[in-house]
Amino acid sequence: MTTGPGLDALSIEELRHRLHDAEETLRAIREGDADAVVVRSADEDTVFALAGGEDSYRAMMEAMDIGAVALDDQERLLYANAAFCALIGCGAVDLQREGLFARLDARTADTVRGTIVQARDGRHQTQFVQTHDGADRHLMVTAAPLPLAFGIGSALTFSDVTVRVEAAVAEESERIAQAVIASANEAVVVCDRSGRIINANAAACAVMPGALIGRPFEQAMPLIFPNGSAATRTEDLIAMAGAGKAVKGLEAFAPFASPPKDLLVSVAPLRLTGEAPGGSVITLIDLSERKAIEKRQTLLMHELDHRVKNTLTMVLSICSRTLSGSDGLDDFRVRFTRRIQALAATHNLLADASWTGIDLSAMIRSELAPYLSSSGPRMEIGELDRSVAPDVAIAFGLVVHELTTNAVKYGALSAESGCVTVTGRQLERDLYEVAWTESGGPHVKMPRRHGFGQTLITRSLARGDGTGATVDFAPGGVVCRMILPIEGRA
């Protein structure tokens, strides 16, 4: 053996001993017989425990619940504990033979490699989702630099945080559910299996003043159900929910509320993550406004029925009286059609006013509008800003129609120089007088017979003492004075 300059036999022997020690160390590491490896540097020695008895680092890592993995600087597997093998469903021998990344799916492998890169300057964590056996698992991988004698590797730990994530999700869901219940406009009450109230929002507290939490529902809200409903007592609702049955839209009465309320009650089982019913959720909707609307609709239907019957009776009367006073079928058709059209016109005005009353001047202008001349005014209307009830309006409309028809045929509107003046004045006792005065027309004579039109005028407006109409066939023009009960200014 030839030695180089500066090396004596003692130095060569020392090198041989060091080489032998290094070979033994590598063999011990490879065969798992070494307890630790000491890496010396100028500053301090670093100890890497590799194997040993119960108190060694390897034994501690095998006893851990979280997966632990050690990689060299080329991402080759140096060590993986049993917990990690169980986590990915792989045996230690197969994992050692195939390598770490060959046993991970592509998305998980990219996540782990990205975490290792981020951990070059210090510890780094990444949370990700892995699908295993058809179920999603939430995992947390933590990477940190691992100094080795032959480079800087990586120490990895894998923790299954699925339970923690699901608990956080459940907590957030509970928080959202509580917020939804609290902000709901409807009253919401949550009961446990025994029917005791465990939660109630502000709307529920408004239905039943006082403390609700901790009280049995049937005591806190003793609802009254109509005969023949799905429940006869409040506790029946709790029993239905406990059996897993939901009931929707059950009407009930709450006499204890202030003021008493009609409620629409729905009950549903309270289920948590697919478990058996753990209680019940009861919603109570205030029907007071809807009931009031229904009552109003019922009244309106009765009123409509009454008005339709009255109108049909009036039509039959008009038909009969028109027929008896007509000179023939053609005369009847014309008279009857015009009277029904006048009746319809008044109905249209009432409909526009929602049947709350109608302005007298509007009816007069509507009836006289077809007979106005462009050459000059043939109608003068004074102060008539008064409103009358629907039944009075219908009679007044028919009277104005008869007066207009008579004026067109025989009176002021039959001549170009004729004029109709309609004025009004207030009387006592909420009575109002409307005066129809014709002028400028032909000389007026008393009719030879008392026809239906005159009968309609004199009788239709009678609504008690002081009301009604009178007709004066003065030579200068017809004058009709009508006294009506009024409602006020239009």
107: three-class secondary structure by DSSP: helix
Q: Find, among 82, 95, 68, 87, the residue nearest to 157 by Cα.
A: 68
214: three-class secondary structure by DSSP: coil
Residues near 370 by beta carbon (within 8 Å), at least 6 away in sequence: none
Indicate the pTM of the whole model.
Answer: 0.46
Could you give the angle at which helices 452-460 and 288-325 cross, rounded to 10 degrees? 150
**What single-letter amino acid sits at 72?**
D
Query: What is the edge-to-edge ordering of all strands in the sheet holding 468-474?
Result: 379-381, 419-426, 431-439, 477-485, 468-474
Give the start-to-end residue ranges of the domains of the chain: 38-160, 182-286, 322-489
Cα distances from 216 to residues 30, 190, 231, 490, in angstroms, run 71, 11, 17, 57
The C-alpha angle with vertex 425 and arms to 419 and 427, in degrees rounded to 5, equals: 145
3-state helix, strand, coil in the chain (%, to 5): 45, 30, 30
Tokens of 471: 């007709």
Q: Give the CA radius of gyration of the chain.
A: 51
| Predicted local confidence at residue 3, as pLDDT | 45
User: Other C-beta atoms within 10 Å of 245: how many?
Assistant: 14
Angstrom distance (rounded) from CA 113 to CA 126 = 11
Cis peptide before 485 (omega within 30 of 0): no
CATH superfamily of 322-489: Histidine kinase-like ATPase, C-terminal domain (3.30.565.10)
User: Other C-beta atoms within 10 Å of 477: how many?
Assistant: 23
The H or E element containing residue 124 is strand 124-132
Residues near 163 by beta carbon (within 8 Å), at least 6 away in sequence: none
Per-residue pLDDT of the chain (490 residues; tens, 9 = 90+): 444 444 455 566 666 665 565 556 555 544 555 555 554 445 555 445 554 443 455 666 676 778 889 898 888 888 888 888 888 888 888 888 888 898 888 888 999 999 999 998 889 999 988 876 777 888 899 999 988 877 888 999 998 888 888 777 767 766 766 776 766 778 888 888 888 888 888 888 878 777 888 888 888 888 888 775 555 677 887 888 888 888 888 888 888 888 888 888 888 888 766 567 778 888 888 888 888 888 888 887 887 787 788 778 878 878 887 887 788 888 888 888 888 888 888 888 777 767 777 888 888 888 887 776 555 557 788 878 888 888 888 888 889 888 988 888 889 988 888 899 999 998 887 899 999 999 999 998 888 777 777 888 888 888 888 889 999 999 999 999 999 998 755 5
Do residues 280 and 288 touch, judged by C-beta distance below 8 A?
A: no
Phi–psi pair at 486, nearest 5 degrees: -115, 165
Angstrom distance (rounded) from CA 91 to CA 75 = 19
Angstrom distance (rounded) from CA 140 to CA 162 = 9
**What single-letter amino acid sits at 234?**
T
Helix residue ranges, H only, 1-91: 9-31, 57-63, 82-88
Angstrom distance (rounded) from CA 456 to CA 81 = 110
| Predicted local confidence at residue 255, as pLDDT | 86
Cis peptide before 259 (omega within 30 of 0): yes
Q: Which CATH class is domain 38-160?
A: alpha beta
Angstrom distance (rounded) from CA 179 to CA 158 = 36
Angstrom distance (rounded) from CA 263 to CA 236 = 16
Question: Quick check: do 38-160 and 322-489 share a fold?
Answer: no
Residues near 252 by beta carbon (within 8 Å), at least 6 away in sequence: 223, 224, 225, 226, 229, 262, 263, 264, 265
CATH number of the domain located at residue range(s) 182-286 in this protein:
3.30.450.20
Pairing of strands 379-381, 419-426: parallel
CB hemisphere CA count around 75 (13 angstroms): 14
Angstrom distance (rounded) from CA 354 to CA 70 = 86
Phi–psi pair at 211, nearest 5 degrees: -70, 135
